[in-house]
Amino acid sequence: MLLRDERDALCGIGRRLAETGLVTGASGNVSVRSGDLVAVTPGGMMLDRMEPADCPVVNLAGQWVDGDKAPSSETPMHLALYEATPAAAIVHTHSTYGAVVATTMSELPPIHYNTLLLGGVVKVAEYATYGTPELAENVRTAMAGGKRAALMANHGGVAIGRDLEEAYENARLLEWLCGVYVRAKSIGEPRVLTEEELAKVVERGLAPPDFPRV
């Protein structure tokens, strides 16, 4: 089986995403890149019920290479991000607070300095139908400039990483930041950190790790 270890890791991350509520049912998808190949979760399958053989493998052009099931409908978005960034793994969620912010905002304001770990202010990609080249391009635009995460209007969130573990943790951080913002809005107007305040945090060494080149 091609990319056996990578496909097994997808199943592990799928279970964790379901357990933590970052995805429900068959929503969301995950991929991991190894050289010119990408293992991705299958379309229409609950992520906590996958087996390694369920996860198809495609090349960077989106052509089927191995596996019996069809790849996720969001595979074009994953491939667009692999082309545009040095990421080695991508996690796309339909988390609650991420969806709330993505439905109401054009960006997630920097209300906590840990926003810097995602590359700065998190943008909300313009809405487009799921699985389309238009959505893939919108997300790619929202992730420009070294971003580690983005939200997708009226949809959910996406995070990238140097490996699956990092992409998963970035997705968890994105949901936490969205949750803090939504809860803060319920009791008042959240205070947003200024560029100067964020710059001082960077001076103290908080910044996203550099990606190795794929």
* Arithmetic mean of pLDDT, 126-135: 97
Q: What is the pLDDT of residue 145?
A: 93
Q: What is the pLDDT of residue 213?
A: 45
Closest residue by Cα to residue 31 from 16, 20, 42:
42
Q: What is the pLDDT of residue 214?
A: 40
Using an 8 Å Cβ cutoff, are 158 and 77 in contact?
yes
Closest residue by Cα to residue 52 from 114, 89, 6, 21:
6
The contacts of residue 76 (CB under 8 Å, 6+ apart) are: 62, 131, 132, 133, 135, 136
Closest residue by Cα to residue 202 from 154, 159, 146:
146
Q: Is the pLDDT of residue 93 over 80?
A: yes
Q: Which domains does the chain have, with CATH numbers?
A: 4-206 (3.40.225.10)
3's tokens? 């990319």
Checking DSSP bridges between strand 149-152 and strand 57-59, what pairing results, if any? unpaired
* Arithmetic mean of pLDDT, 60-66: 97
Percentage of the chain beyond pLDDT 70 is 98
pTM, to two decimals: 0.95
190's tokens? 């959240």
Q: What is the pLDDT of residue 25?
A: 87
Q: Is the pLDDT of residue 66 over 80?
A: yes
Q: Whole-number mean pLDDT of the chain?
A: 95
CA separation for the pair 201, 206 (Å, rounded):
6
The contacts of residue 94 (CB under 8 Å, 6+ apart) are: 22, 23, 24, 27, 28, 155, 156
Angle at alpha carbon of residue 55, lines to 165 and 79, rounded to 5°: 70
Coil/strand/helix, residue 16: helix
Q: What is the pLDDT of residue 207?
A: 77
Burial class (CB in 10 A: 0-12, 13-18, 19+), 61: exposed
Q: What is the pLDDT of residues 158-213, one digit of tens each?
A: 999 999 999 999 999 999 999 999 999 999 999 999 999 999 999 988 878 776 54
* Arithmetic mean of pLDDT, 110-127: 97
Please give the positions annotated as active site.
74
